[in-house]
Amino acid sequence: MKRALIFIILVINLTAQAKIDLVTLPSRDKVQLTIYNPADLTLVRERRNLTLKKGWNWLQLAWANTLIDPTSLTLEPLEQKDKIAIEQLVFPARVQQVGQWLIYSQVDGRVPFEITYFTSGLAWRAFYMGTLAKDEKMMRLEGYVRVDNNSGEDYENAQTRVIVGQVHLLDQIAELAKRQYPYGAPLRMHGVDGDYGGFAGYWYEVADKKNLSLFGGMRRTGQVALDAYEPLERKEIKKEGLSEYFLYTIEGAETILNTWGKRLLSFEANDITVKSLYKYDEERWGTETIRFVAFNNDEKHNLGQTPIPNGDVKIYSQADDLGFLSYVGGTNIKYIPVNEEIELNLGPARLVTVEPKLMDFKTEKYLFDSKGNVSGWDEVQTWQIEVTNTRTLAIEIEITRASGTAYWQMNFDQKDISYEKYDVTHARFKLNLEPRNKRTFGYTVRMYHGEREQAMSK
C-alpha cells in the first residue's frame, strides 16, 4: 500500500563541488498513538533507525495528503546524544508539505531516532458488552475501544493509548495541517545562496526569525570548516500542563490503516456480582416499568482498576445451555470513577407491569377564615396497585409515587410494605415478587392544603 508519509535522508558533503547522497529511511520500528477525544488530536511517537554520515546531514519529511501539524514536528536521537546535534527544521517555500531537518553528526552509521508530531483525523469511542448468567446474579463484562483512522496515514503495529478528559487547544490541528505554509509567509534564507547540493535560491520559512543562518557561520565559497562547528542558539520553550485526564493503554500492537476502523479489546472482567432491579415512576417513564442492572466499579466486583469511559453498553443473557444469547437491552453510560456504582437503564420491561388505580377520592376537615372562606382542607386518595411478574425469575421492584404537595402522609393496607420519603413530594417503596406471580395492595395518601398544613407539625 502506498504510504503518504515519506522520509528521505540527504547527506551533504559541503565541499567546493557539492555532492548529495540520497538514502531512503527504513520503516518504523515502533509507533505509539495517544488519541485525545474530543479534541481531534493524536500524538504520534515513532522510532526509526537513521543512517548518518559524519558531518552535516539533511533529513527530509514529506507529509502530503495527511493531517499532520508541521509546527509540532520534533526529532531526537535515542543514542549518541552527545555526538549528534539537531539544528533546525526548515520548510522549502516552493514545495508544500515538506520539511527538512539539519543534523550535525560526529558518528557514522545507524542511529535510532524518535520522531514525534500531532496529527488530526484519528478518533476513538468506547463500548461494552455484558453477558448475564442464567440466574442474573453474575455478569461478564467486556470493554472495547474502536479507533477510526482518517488521518491520511497508515500506522502499522501501533501501540494505542486513549485519553479521557478535556484538552484545551489554541488551534485546531486539522487547520494547521492544511496551511500552505506552516508558520505563515515564507522568508528568504540567509547564508545559503551558493550552490550547496541543489538548494540554491530556495526560500525557507523558519520558526526562529532571529536565527536564519542554517550553517552556523559557514563561508559561502563552499570551503567549509567542519571542525569549527558551533551549535545554533537554542530557544526556551514554555510548557504548561493540560487539564485533568486519565490515560488508557491498549495492550499489544495493532495495525490501523487509513480510512479503516478497528475494534480493540480494552478489558474483560468475569463474575461481576450484579443486582437486577425494576423501577416504576409515572413522572419519569409514564406507565412503563423500566429494567436496571446495577454493580460497582470496584475490586470487590472484579473491576476498579480504572475509571470506565463514556460509551454504549449492550446487555445479553444466556438463552439456553448451548450458549446462545438473547438481547436484554442497552444504554449509554457516562464516565464512571473507581468505587462508584453503575446503574444501567435497559429500557422498558415487557414481563413486569405495574398498574395503579384510583379507587376513592374525597376532601374533608375544612377550615374557614373570618370571612367564611375555605382556608384549609385535607385531600384523601385511596389507590390500588397491582404488580405482575411473568418472568421465570424472582424480581425486586421499586415504585415511586407523587403526592403533589410537600405536606402528606401515607398508609398501606398490608403490614409488610412501608415507604420512605424520596423527596418532599414523593414516596418510594420496594417489594419482592416471586416468579410468575401477581400481588395487589392498597394505600391511602392524605394531603394537607392551606392552613391544614400546620397539622403536619403537630
Selection from 287, 92, 273 nearest residue 181 by Cα: 92
Q: Is residue 181 a part of any domain in this protein?
A: yes
The answer to whether residue 144 sits within a structural domain is no
Q: Measured on CA atoms in the order 174, 179, 181, 183, is the torsion positive or negative?
A: negative
Q: Which of 56, 264, 80 is nearest to 155 (CA)?
A: 264
120 secondary structure, DSSP code: S
End-to-end CA distance of the chain: 83
Domain CATH number, residue 395: 2.60.40
pLDDT at position 307 is 84
Residue 450 lies in a domain: yes
* Of residues 167, 164, 307, the one with CA closest to residue 247: 164
pLDDT of residue 18: 40
* Total structural domains within the chain: 2
The per-residue b/e assignment along 54-83, b for 16 or more CB within 10 angstroms, e otherwise, is ebbbbbbbbbeebbbbbbbbebebeeeeee
Ranges of the chain with pLDDT below 70? 1-26, 38, 165-245, 457-458
pLDDT for position 422: 87
**Segment holding 352, helix H or strand E:** strand 352-368
Q: For the segment 377-435, what is each residue's pLDDT rounded down to a tens digit? A: 999 999 999 999 999 999 999 999 998 899 999 999 998 898 998 899 999 999 999 99
- Does residue 70 sit in the same domain as residue 208? yes
For residue 92, being part of any structural domain is answered with yes
pLDDT at 398: 96
Report yes or no on 200 lying in a domain: yes
Which of 205, 228, 251 is the last residue before a domain boundary?
Answer: 228
Asked if residue 174 belongs to a domain, the reply is yes
Q: Is 174 found in the same domain as 36?
A: yes
Q: DSSP string of 127-176?
A: EEEEEE-TTSSEEEEEEEEEEEE-SS--EEEEEEEEEEE----SS-HHHH
- For 63, list phi and psi in degrees, rounded to 5: -125, 35
Instruction: Flag whether 310 is in a domain.
Output: no
Evaluate whether residue 311 is within a structural domain. no
Q: What does 248-269 look like in DSSP terms, one character per residue?
A: EE-SS-EEE-TT-EEEEEEEEE
Q: Do residues 359 and 224 share a domain?
A: no
Residue that is last in its domain, among 228, 246, 281: 228
Question: How many CB atoms lie under 10 A from the CB of residue 185?
Answer: 9
Integer angstrom CA distances of residue 370 from 124, 367, 375, 448 = 71, 10, 10, 20
Domain boundary among 197, 228, 259: 228
Domain containing residue 362: 352-457
Does an H or E element contain 119, and which? strand 109-119
The answer, as to whether pTM is greater than 0.75, is: no
CA 163 to chain centre: 5
Please name every residue paired with 362 in a beta bridge, in sequence order, or none if there are none.
380
Distance CA 291, CA 447 (A): 31
